[in-house]
Amino acid sequence: MAPESSLLEGSTVPVLVALAFVGAAAYIFMRDQSGDLRAMLSAAPSPVNSLKLARAIARMYGSELAQCIDFKLTPPRLRLHEGQAEACASKLRKLARFGPSDSELEHSLSRVLGEMVSLSALTAEADGLRRTTVSATNATHEAALEALWDALQPGRARDGGRISKSWGDIGFQGSDPTTDFRGMGFFALLSLLHTARAHPAFCARHVRTYMTPGNELTYFPFAITSINVTGWLLDMLGAGELDLVILTTGARLETLHEVHFALFVHFARAWERERPKSVMEFGRVQKAVLAEVKRVGIERLLDAAAACGE
């Protein structure tokens, strides 16, 4: 019978072989990942390539960079706040095995991480405005409401002053419009005001149609519809569906306001095309519009809105 020590020594051989195999496989995997990352960083700079890289980093380095990745998005992608960028860059430089001659890759990495920071910053800014309640005691909010009225009803005074049923003529539900912004907050007011100022022909036509006697029960109320559209926009923003538009156009509030306008135009066209018999069909039209947005993409809607001449 063989000594016990010999048996133990013999049994370790397969284990050592297996460990060596696993180690080699891990090395090859990490080397391939490093090569993939370097190849993507070498690609021509574009919004599309930046988003591809943000998704690839999340896929390849999800465990190492978990704090910098938004796993709620589909697919998950890199999402950075200002204070995270340098730490994330440092980790990625090590993972991609940057050397002294990789200055161009360093520049590409910094650019892409900066774009991800700008996306996060814009999302946070919009969410902060959404959570800001429109208040009658806030001078800035009151000034925005007065500017909205002047843009949608130029030269016309409201009956009764600040609290007035006249607000209903532009599509609010009651005599105090601040109550209609609950849920979408000051961001909804800013989007509506931007549309009123930047696209007066569109606004004038649809407000005028709504104010035509007999249409109040069959045509969409302008202001309330705009607030609903803001909700759609914020859902899309939170889901990462506007990332490409934002990186292409610019990470600023005006970009979101123009997306809001494009969605609004699409809804208005759908309403006029289908001619619902009652405003109670709003939900049905909304569902169809959102399904089409997902099908054709927001980029095409932006092009269509820009070409509509309103």
Q: Which two tokens stand for residue 109?
A: 């990495």
Contacts of 245 (CB under 8 A, 6+ apart): 255, 259, 298, 299, 302
Q: Got the DSSP string for 201-258?
A: HHHHHHHHHHHSTT-TTTS--HHHHHHHHHHHHHHHHHTTTTHHHHHHH-SSHHHHHH
> What proportion of the chain, given as a percentage, has pLDDT over 90?
68
What type of residue sits at position 202? F
Q: Which two tokens stand for residue 66?
A: 């978990």
pLDDT confidence of residue 237: 96
pLDDT confidence of residue 37: 86
| Residue 93 near residue 70, CB atoms below 8 Å | no
Q: Is 60 exposed, middle or buried (0-12, 13-18, 19+ CB in 10 A)?
A: buried
Residue 281 has pLDDT above 80, yes or no: yes
Angle (nearest 5°) at CA 271 between 205 and 158: 40
pLDDT confidence of residue 190: 99
Instruction: Write down the residue that tokens 């399904």 correspond to.
Output: 291
Q: How far apart are CA 109 and CA 152, in angstroms?
A: 46
Q: Which two tokens stand for residue 204?
A: 């004038």
Q: How far apart are CA 280 and CA 282, in angstroms?
A: 5
* 8-state DSSP, 61: S
pLDDT confidence band for 95 (50 / 70 / 90): confident
The closest alpha carbon to 236, from 196, 304, 307, 289, belongs to 289
Q: How far apart are CA 96 and CA 118, in angstroms?
A: 23
> Which of 69-73, 152-156, 177-181, 261-265 has the weakest average pLDDT?
69-73
Interhelix angle for 139-152 vs 200-211, to 10°? 80
Query: Which helix or strand (DSSP H or E) is residue 260 part of?
Result: helix 253-274
Instruction: Write down the residue that tokens 């969409």 correspond to.
Output: 220
The closest alpha carbon to 51, from 105, 103, 124, 113, belongs to 113
pLDDT digits (tens, 9 = 90+) for 108-159: 999 999 999 999 999 999 999 999 999 999 999 999 999 999 999 999 999 9
pLDDT confidence band for 233 (50 / 70 / 90): very high
pLDDT confidence band for 16 (50 / 70 / 90): very low
Torsion (CA) 145, 147, 148, 153 in degrees, nearest 10:
120
Q: How far apart are CA 234 and CA 256, in angstroms?
A: 9
| Residue 240 near residue 73, CB atoms below 8 Å | yes
